[in-house]
Amino acid sequence: MNVAVVGCTGLVGSVMLKVLDERKFPVSNLIPVASEKTKGRSVLFSGKSYPIVTTTDALNADMDLALFSAGSQVSKDWAPVFAKKGTVVIDNSSCWRMDSSVPLIVPEVNADQLSSSDKIIANPNCSTIQMVMALKPLHDLYKIKRVVVSTYQSVTGTGVKAVNQLMNERKGIAGDMAYRYPIDLNVIPQIDVFMPNDYTKEEMKMVNETRKILAEPHLAITATTVRIPVMGGHSESVNIEFYAEPDIKEIRTVLSKAPGVMVLDNPSEQLYPMPLVHAQDRDQVFVGRIRMDESQPNTVNLWVVSDNLRKGAATNAVQIAEYLLKKGLLPA
């Protein structure tokens, strides 16, 4: 089928191309889309070179599927235009996530919501995706009452400029700053802008998106999101209170059987998930440090790690496309 990748030169867009190729998604013609300044350059996909075009150029092509990762404004302006032409759009920006008419999908969690009428489908925030992958099987088991999450997020979540800032600082080189403060040897307790309630936009994304994905609009959840100088993925400390009394052995068993989840949890062997060691360039969500919260009843702690560019973005989008194809919601 004809597949467009909008934002193909960005970190997530380039990984989308890689994942499409790795997973042998049936691309008969690739349409790589980026800004006007990159028009005429080319990208390599599955051993073949494809010229980069603009969004306007792409509209003249007969596209079956478009994966968007070019920012909220591009998605706001162009996703409806593509959809009107009959192209199914899977959007990685925050633009459509909380639109009540647009499904917000993690395939292992709620893909059954999708139908042939869905022409714009939202990919959740990277930190939300990995958390709900761990929450959903436990919510089905015990029903969740409250979630407290603190994140430790990779600079790759900000983009190339942030990666360059970190590398430049490590080399003692002056350069463009993605953050207001140094990131090397530092921790920045702010991701995205602050909202009127003094939470950041990233924190409220995790709250609101989790409620929508789990279909629990009143779920008690609070988040603190933090940028740290690491590569390879995001890490999360998740404290979960249930209505029923949980059993740690049962939790380990259920998570071990959950699709897309891998349990790494052996304190005696110092085995626990880490972004660089375990998650980088892999598609699983890794869970460890599974233990009871001894300060209150019916509560457990988890440590959740995943590659934010893959399962947190590109792979999740491609998995949505695979589900649509499998269910006959895309042209075969």
**Catalytic residue set:** 126, 234
| 238 Cβ contact partners less than 8 Å away, ≥ 6 residues apart | 131, 134, 135, 147, 148, 149, 301, 302, 303, 304
C-alpha closest to that of 4 among 72, 69, 97, 96: 69
Integer Rg of the chain from CA: 20
Q: How many CA atoms lie within 13 A of 274 on its CB side?
A: 6
Residue carrying the six token digits 């150029």 = 57
Consecutive H or E run containing 169: helix 160-171
Burial class (CB in 10 A: 0-12, 13-18, 19+), 237: middle
List C-alpha distances in Å: 66 to 46, 75, 116. Answer: 18, 11, 15
The token duo for 89 is: 């759009």
